[in-house]
Structure 1
């Protein structure tokens, strides 16, 4: 599934503090943030919609077969 970037404004000192204390516990800020967004997704998006999105995402896109290019004849005249 295609991913997108999310950007928010947050107080610099608070962000630095949370990253520092998470680092002390060997936790990754980005991973924890992704878990939080997943929790919001599960909480607010209805189950049937989540199932539909999961089904769409699991469908393997098969590449369209390419049409063979017609071979050009060698029209060079040798004299």
Structure 2
């Protein structure tokens, strides 16, 4: 699925404090923010719409075709 960027304005001192205390707990700010946005998605987007988006995503993923293994064509005499 194509990713897009989201930006917001937030108090610099508060943001630095969040990152400082999260780093003390070995937490990643970006990962936690993504979890929060996923939570908003699950809360506000109806289930049938989420299912449709999931189905659409599966259909648009490029399939990885494996090359068929070459058969041994040696002729033994």
Shorter-chain TM-score tier: 0.7 to 0.9
- Which of structures 1 and 2 has the larger relative contact order (alpha carbons within 8 angstroms, sep 6+)? 2
Report the aligned-residue RMSD: 1.5
**TM-score (norm: length of structure 2):** 0.78
Structure 2 gap ranges (5+): 63-77
Task: Structure 1: give runs of 5+ residues left out of the alignment.
Answer: 63-79
Alignment length, in residue pairs? 63
Instruction: Report runs of 4+ in structure 1 exceeding 6 Å deviation.
Output: none
CA 1:32–1:56 in structure 2 vs 1: closer, same or farther (change >3 Å)?
same
Q: Which of these two proteins has the greater Rg computed from alpha carbons?
A: 1
